[in-house]
Amino acid sequence: MKLSEVHKTAGEIKALTKKYMIDTYERYDFVAQTAKGMYLYDEEGHAYLDFYGGIAVNSAGNCNEKVVAAVQDQVGDLMHTFNYPYTVPQVLLAERVCKALAMDKIFYQSTGTEANEAMIKMARKYGVDHYGPNKYHIITAKGSFHGRTYGAMSATGQPDNACQVGFKPVVPGFSYAEFNNLDDFRAHVTDDTIAIMLEPIQGEGGVNPATPEFMKGIADLCKEKGLLLLLDEIQTGWCRSGNVMAYMDYDVKPDIVSMAKALGGGMPISAICATEEVSKAFTMGAHGTTFGGNPVCCAAAYAEVNELLNRDLAGNAKKVGNYLVEKLKTLPHVKEVRGKGLMIGIEFDAPAGYAIKHGCFDRNMLVTLIGDRIIRLLPPLIATKADCDKACDILKEAVITAIECKESPHVM
């Protein structure tokens, strides 16, 4: 829908949002009406360079033509049915994903937090089935983020974060160990532990990649103790890190892996993939979903995955990401640049993140913020070196204005 089609002004849309919506987001001050490739366009046609990608969703580009065509084709045939009949998009996507990841089974959900809930439930059910009712403890990492529903929120290792404050008590059975500290994870293993759950690169925690030694050590620890390895690839998966899945860079294989975001190319779909043995924990009625595996979402995801793999957008993410990291290191006031592929965090030496974020917006570029010092970049994986040059020029201006000129951004 466009403003002209509903006979509303941008001001009226903003006023109606304020009146009727429970708004937990700090809005950018524009109405996003269209998008294409590397850009979003507002109600007046102004272009915004997209370096947040819908939070790592629009990986094959905004409104990718093949994804759009797949949605348009499917929506006229079968928009929704529950998971009783077989559907073509569902099974074609299942085959494509499982073969690409060398995994055995897939279970669809609609959002990332649901996928992590399913992963947690499958691991606990496996533990109870094989070892008894107390085998449900899961170790996660401090600084992790796994979602906002109760199980995923409880797995999140940020007890002082707004995502947990006010919502306690959390679900029991989780403990948090220091990320990239194998000894601390080992110390948290008990007789009741069934799994270790990790992000290969912590996203909301500040864009912190696991070290190769840590990830290999965790995989070895799981084998030694008979634990399941659960990997949360909601944000890192599907070519974002420079490989199809981030865990592939570490030469480890999970028992269960969760995915969402980039999987659907803009449509709400998520999934877990599991080994044959662990997947058996989900027996008839043990888990379910109304919208998971929706035919339109599966058709979109099938087109998106084919675009990502056939165009080697993982390779592009690695090449362009390496180029971008080196450029970012030359910006003023940069303390550290972290990440892999086109998942990058820039930590500055002053708490000016908010001003930098809005300085970028004022210069028609969209980025995300973590805390008060870290700007996170998650552009579509079609980004070119020219796009990165433009982004760095904008960031440089925003940083100088925010830190050296100490200019405060206007409040949205």
Residue 244 pLDDT > 70, yes or no?
yes
The pLDDT value recorded for residue 270 is 98
Residue 321 pLDDT > 60, yes or no?
yes
pLDDT level of residue 408 (50, 70, 90 thresholds): low
- Mean pLDDT along residues 384-402: 98
The pLDDT value recorded for residue 411 is 43
- Mean pLDDT along residues 204-221: 97
- Mean pLDDT along residues 220-237: 98
DSSP state of 18: H
CA 380 and chain centroid, separation: 13
Range from 5-9, 260-264, 324-328, 385-389 carrying the lowest mean pLDDT: 5-9
pLDDT level of residue 193 (50, 70, 90 thresholds): very high
Tokens encoding 390: 């433009």
The pLDDT value recorded for residue 138 is 98
Question: By 3-state DSSP, what share of the chain in percent is helix, strand and coil, each rounded to 5?
Answer: 40, 20, 40
Residue 412 pLDDT > 50, yes or no?
no
pLDDT level of residue 409 (50, 70, 90 thresholds): low
Taking the C-alpha atoms of residue 174 and residue 403, their distance in angstroms, rounded to an integer, is 40
Residue 67 pLDDT > 80, yes or no?
yes
Residue 395 pLDDT > 80, yes or no?
yes
Residues linked to residue 175 through DSSP beta bridges, in sequence order: 139
The pLDDT tens digits of the residues spanning 14-66 come to 999 999 999 898 889 999 999 999 999 999 999 999 999 999 999 999 999 99
Residue 358 pLDDT > 70, yes or no?
yes
Burial class of 150 by CB neighbour count within 10 A (0 to 12, 13 to 18, 19+): middle
Which positions ≥6 away from 363 have C-beta within 8 Å? Answer: 394, 397, 398
- Mean pLDDT along residues 152-156: 97
Residue 189 pLDDT > 60, yes or no?
yes
- Mean pLDDT along residues 210-224: 98
Residue 91 pLDDT > 80, yes or no?
yes
- Mean pLDDT along residues 306-324: 98
CB 201, CB 241: distance < 8 Å: yes
- Mean pLDDT along residues 139-160: 96
- Mean pLDDT along residues 299-321: 98
- Mean pLDDT along residues 298-303: 98
CB 321, CB 51: distance < 8 Å: no
The pLDDT value recorded for residue 161 is 87
Average pLDDT, whole number, for the chain?
96
135: number of Cβ within 10 Å:
19
Taking the C-alpha atoms of residue 265 and residue 311, their distance in angstroms, rounded to an integer, is 14
pLDDT level of residue 407 (50, 70, 90 thresholds): low
For tokens 């995994």, what's the residue? 103
Taking the C-alpha atoms of residue 302 and residue 95, their distance in angstroms, rounded to an integer, is 10
Residue 404 pLDDT > 90, yes or no?
no
Q: Supply the pTM of this predicted model.
A: 0.96
- Mean pLDDT along residues 163-180: 95
Burial class of 188 by CB neighbour count within 10 A (0 to 12, 13 to 18, 19+): middle
Q: Rg of the chain over CA atoms, in angstroms?
A: 21
Higher pLDDT, 27 or 99: 99
For tokens 């979402």, what's the residue? 297
